Amino acid sequence: MRSAFGIGIVMEENTKNQDFLGTEPVGKLLFKLALPAIAAQLINVLYNIVDRVYLGHMKDVGGLALTGVGVCAPILMIISAFAALVAMGGAPLASIELGKQNREGAERIMGSCFALQVVLSLVLTAVCLIWNEPLLLLFGASENTIPYATQYINVYALGTIFVQLTLGMNAFISAQGFAKTSMLTTLIGAVCNIILDPIFIFACDMGVRGAALATVLSQAVSCVWVLVFLHSEKSGLRLSAGTIRFRRELLSCMALGVAPFIMQASESVISICFNSSLLKYGGDVAVGAMTILSTVFQFAMLPIQGLSQGAQPISGYNFGARNGARVKKTFQLLLLCACVYATVLWGTIELFPQVYAAMFTGDADIVRYTTVVLRIYAGAMCLMGVQIACQMTFISMGNAKASVFLAVFRKFILLIPLIYLLPALLPDKAIAVYLAEPIADTIAVLCTALLFRHEFKKALQAISEPLQEEHS
């Protein structure tokens, strides 16, 4: 059947059945699910990239406008983190329930997550509107950049509910194996944003407010798309009024979602630490460079995250179905692809940093500075394939404790202390701040690999033992 939206979904014709997750060859299935997920991730980042490219090239004030929007990043990350708290905990559990052939249980999880996301979005909107200026000053805004930052966040905050529901509920589309539909969610929004940005920023002379308005309207369109699909018969999991309520399952969802929440929310805290330290040691140029670095790093990691998202329903479904061999094979293939990609990307950044720097601004000072520090900041990028592959597999198996520990360890135990410690030890204090990232990443990856080796073996043994007993 064809979707009512005209989408040719390359899945089972009967969308009520996700058995293909347990039967199709793992390699073929991973890439079938991962390629749309990668495309979706790349498209999704266009929201930020397009805004920053247009704003960075505004006449006379491009550098300040870019830096001002960059200072808003911690708030945007926190909003996304709350979406991850609910969805990235709920979606893997829904996949596990599907593997157990418990569709009703999966729908209860999805409905409970929807209810919580609506409440969270209202609270976040109020916080952003009431306390935006004090928060932005805390996050590294200066007297020069605070006007642009407040203009952006005041408009963006009004669309928080669209961001929450789009990011949160789209995860349940991916969890069913509908990778192309999930991709189209972000594609629709990104295309709208690309069209609306120049209209609002330049044609309507709205500047930073125009960029924010374009993003909000684009997310609203994506939100409608997601909700209509989940409410339709085309979705294996149906979102209906009867399923939207607070239930006990939310506790399990939030426990598992704590790790992705910490990973994303900690990015906000880290952005604050970076911006405040760099403003102190390098001024607005260093903060502007950090805006570009974080965007490049975010963009660069998206294909690995897309691969991980493609692997998640396979791992989750087969873990629930007690098929350890397919879980192991999925992880091995994910790890190989992620490591190869991360290494190639790291090489291009180290060889051609100026290409990435010039994409986001015409400010010569920021470009020159970014070219130097990008090589330093991305020094351990080649190792991040291991980190992301292990982290996502933990989440797919419902291992909340390990996921939370790794998230806390990398960000709070390693990176944040290093941001403040290294400038006290090295003569070039601004460069020392940028060095914190590769040092923390290297240590974190080593610890992640060791922990994963132990926990993964134990998890596979746990799901195989009942099968062995049944056959004995």
Return the pLDDT at 249: 83
pLDDT in tens, 247-304: 888 888 888 888 778 777 777 788 788 888 988 888 888 888 887 888 788 777 778 8
Measured CA distances, 406 to 260, 301, 447 (Å): 10, 18, 8
- Cα 457 to the center of its chain, rounded Å: 27
Return the pLDDT at 16: 44
Parts of the chain with a pLDDT under 70: 1-19, 37, 40-41, 44-48, 57, 60-62, 361-362, 400, 465-472
- Phi/psi zone of residue 3: left (φ > 0), alpha (ψ -120 to 50 degrees), beta? beta
Cα separation, 281 vs 283, in Å, equals 6
Distance in Å from the first CA to the final CA of the chain:
43
Measured CA distances, 94 to 63, 247, 299, 312 (Å): 44, 14, 28, 11
Amino acid, single-letter form, for residue 129: L
- pTM of the full structure: 0.66
User: What residue spans define the domains of the chain?
Assistant: 26-467
Q: Provide the token pair at 130.
A: 């009431």
Cα separation, 101 vs 21, in Å, equals 12
Cα separation, 176 vs 91, in Å, equals 9
CB 386 within 8 A of CB 87: no
Give the 3-state secondary structure of the chain. Answer: CCCCCCCCCCCCCCCCCCCHHHHCCHHHHHHHHHHHHHHHHHHHHHHHHHHHHHHHCCCCCHHHHHHHHHHCHHHHHHHHHHHHHHHHHHHHHHHHHHHCCCHHHHHHHHHHHHHHHHHHHHHHHHHHHHHHHHHHHHCCCCCCCHHHHHHHHHHHHHHHHHHHHHHHHHHHHHHCCCHHHHHHHHHHHHHHHHHHHHHHHHHCCCHHHHHHHHHHHHHHHHHHHHHHHHHCCCCCCCCCCCCCCCCCHHHHHHHHHHHHHHHHHHHHHHHHHHHHHHHHHHHHHHHHHHHHHHHHHHHHHHHHHHHHHHHHHHHHHHHHCCCHHHHHHHHHHHHHHHHHHHHHHHHHHHHCHHHHHHCCCCCHHHHHHHHHHHHHHCCCHHHHHHHHHHHHHHHHCCCHHHHHHHHHHHHHHHHHHHHHHHHHHCCCHHHHHHHHHHHHHHHHHHHHHHHHHHHHHHHHHHHHHHHHHHHC
